Structure 1
Amino acid sequence: MSDRDDYTSEIRPGERVLDRNPASADDARICFIGEIRTPWGPQDCPRNIGSARQSGQGARIELIEGMGEGLEGLAPGQPLVVLYWMDRARRDLILQAPRHTEAPRGTFALRSPNRPNPVAMSVVLIVSIDARAGVIEIDALDCFDRTPVVDLKPWHASIDSPAELPSGRNP
């Protein structure tokens, strides 16, 4: 077991864990395409992308060899969807008690990294691209240094903005 596999932490009152740890399942394969470089570690990582942006600290995505060509067509200033694997998060919590809520909530009602499949998503802005080196400088990201990247996708308002809700409905 590597240090990345050690995601044990205290169980807060009201939290519940699954009967089995989803990390032990052998039913999917993901190919990480690179890693995210940030100044953050477990003690100082921002809680969300907004806080990461407020810090003024940028981030960088470093793709593995051979993936840089996949950046063709992206440009500085463009929004980018980054899917990343929160490899140091718990995977067995199904009911969580965040400090910012009054009562426990189900994992799927939260943006917490603690989930059966710790996939995170953020929309960032591309600052610069070096496709030959497979490096993208971005405005910010709220994850630990060396977090694995699952995928990158361009963000398009015409596709990615949610539909308007019917009158009188609140999200």
Structure 2
Amino acid sequence: MRRAGEIALPFDPATRSAAGITFIGRIRSPWAKGTAPKNLRAARETGQGARVELDPAYAPALTGLEVGQAIQLLYWVDRGERDLLVQNPAHGRGLRGTFALRSPVRPNPIALGTVVITTLDIASGVIGIDATDAWDGTPVLDIKPWLDTVDVPPGWRPVD
């Protein structure tokens, strides 16, 4: 349902695909439409963990990861809308462009969550994670280690 002032694209971005994507696994979580937390912070507050189940072919790629390590999980919000350019978030602050929000409604529904590995079974390709806001069955695109020397810009300070 559109909120006041929202602007949508005149086309479906999915029809303009220019690259192939391979899903490497799925997120398993307790969440579904209407029950998911609004973001990763809220998901952590529930105390509900989740897991990533990789396609067995990708399991060896987990070598070198460790329990307690932070990783960046890129996932495909496959059941989200894709056509909004300007959104009117329910949490307020007025109209905002899609690229100024962490909303799952985007032309390419790629989500990024920095999570902590709670369990790791490389042989089966299963990673336990501390939390997710993704719905159960959400496809996983990639996993990258979070590195403070790379992922935090030098001299970075939060914007007030």
Choose which of 74, 84, 98 in structure 2 pairs with 1:93. Answer: 84
Identity %: 47
**CA RMSD between the two structures:** 1.4
1:42 counterpart = 2:33 = yes
Q: Structure 1: state its 5+ residue gaps.
A: 1-9
Residue in structure 2 matched with residue 22 of structure 1 by the alignment: 13
* TM-score using structure 2 length: 0.96
Unaligned runs of 5+ in 2: none
Shift of 1:165: 4.4
Q: Could you say what secondary structure the match of 2:43 adopts?
A: helix
Write the letter of the residue equivalent to 2:2. I
Q: Which amino acid aligns with 1:120?
A: A
Aligned residues: 160
SS in structure 2 of the partner of residue 54 of structure 1: helix
Output the CA distance in 2 between the equivalents of 1:101 and 1:54.
Answer: 21
For 1:42 and 1:132, how far apart are their aligned partners in 2?
32
Q: How does 1:63-82 map to 2 (within 5 A)?
A: 63-82=54-73
**Structure 1-normalised TM-score?**
0.90
Match of 1:107 in 2: 98
Do residues 59 (structure 1) and 50 (structure 2) align?
yes
Give the superposition deviation at 1:170.
3.6
**CA-to-partner distance for each residue in 1:23-59, whole Å, 9 max, x for gaps?**
1113111101000000001111001111111101000
Instruction: Give the 4+ runs in structure 1 shifted more than 2 A.
Output: none
The correspondence of residues 2-13 of structure 1 with structure 2, limited to 5 A, is 10-13=1-4
